[in-house]
C-alpha cells in the first residue's frame, strides 16, 4: 500500500465576459392608486424583466411545445418558455423612462465578479500534484 499527498489548485478562466440586459415595463398597466405608484411599480417590473433576461443568457431558456392533430389538421398548438436561475453580482447601469408609457432598466453582469463570488463560496479545485510515499 502507498501513502499519498494530494495538492489542489484553483481553476480560473482565461476570459471574463460582461453580460448586459435591458428590461421594459409599461407604466399605465401597473396596479396603483396614483401615477407615482404606477411609476414605481413599472421601475420594479422593468428591473425584474432585466434580471430575467440575464438569467436567460446565463442559464438558457426551457422551451416546451405541444401540438394536437385531427384529420390531418392542427387543432391546438402550444408553446411555453421558462427560465430559472440565481443571478448574483449584477448592477443597475441605468434606469429611465422611454417615451410616455414605458420604463426601462439596464443591468450589467461582470462574470469576473461572479467568478470571485463563486470562488469565495465553492472553492473549485483541480488536481495539482500527487506524491506517493
Question: Are residues 9 and 124 in contact, defined by beta-carbon separation less than 8 angstroms?
Answer: no
If you count them, how many residues does the chain have? 133
Statement: residue 122 has pLDDT above 90: no
Q: Bigger pLDDT: 17 or 131?
A: 17
> Whole-model pTM?
0.76
pLDDT for the residue 106? 98
Q: Grid coordinates representing 44?
A: 420594479
Show Cβ contacts of residue 49 under 8 Å, excluding neighbours closer than 6 positions. 23, 24, 25, 105
- Going from N- to C-terminal start, the domains of the chain cover 4-132
pLDDT, one tens digit per residue, over 47-89 is 999 999 999 999 999 999 999 988 888 888 999 999 999 999 9
Identify the pLDDT of residue 10: 73
Q: 1 falls in which pLDDT band (50, 70, 90)?
A: low
- The mean pLDDT value of the chain amounts to 91
Q: How many percent of the chain have pLDDT more than 70? A: 98
Q: Residue 34's pLDDT band (boundaries 50, 70, 90)?
A: very high
Do 125 and 12 meet the contact criterion of CB atoms below 8 Å apart? no
One-letter-per-residue 3-state SS of the chain: CCCEEEEEEECCCCCCCEEEEEEEEECCCCCCCCHHHHHHHHHHHHHHHHHHHHHHHHHCCEEEEEEEEECCEEEEEEEEEECCCCCCCCEEEEEEEECCCEEEEEEEEEHHHHHHHHHHHHCCEEEEEEEEC
What distance in Å separates the CA atoms of residue 24 and residue 50, rounded to the nearest whole number? 7
Average confidence (pLDDT) over 36-40: 95
Say if residue 130's pLDDT is above 90: no
Amino acid at each position: 500500500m502507498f501513502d499519498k499527498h494530494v495538492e489542489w489548485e484553483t481553476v480560473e478562466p482565461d476570459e471574463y465576459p460582461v453580460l448586459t440586459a435591458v428590461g421594459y415595463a409599461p407604466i399605465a398597466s401597473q396596479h396603483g392608486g396614483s401615477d407615482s405608484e404606477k411609476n414605481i411599480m413599472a421601475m420594479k417590473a422593468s428591473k425584474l424583466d432585466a434580471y430575467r433576461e440575464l438569467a436567460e443568457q446565463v442559464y438558457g431558456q426551457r422551451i416546451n411545445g405541444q401540438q394536437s392533430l385531427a384529420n390531418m389538421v392542427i387543432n391546438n398548438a402550444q408553446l411555453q418558455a421558462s427560465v430559472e436561475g440565481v443571478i448574483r453580482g449584477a448592477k443597475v447601469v441605468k434606469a429611465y423612462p422611454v417615451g410616455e408609457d414605458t420604463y426601462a432598466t439596464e443591468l450589467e453582469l461582470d462574470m469576473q465578479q461572479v467568478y470571485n463570488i463563486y470562488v469565495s463560496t465553492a472553492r473549485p479545485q483541480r488536481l495539482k500534484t500527487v506524491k506517493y510515499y
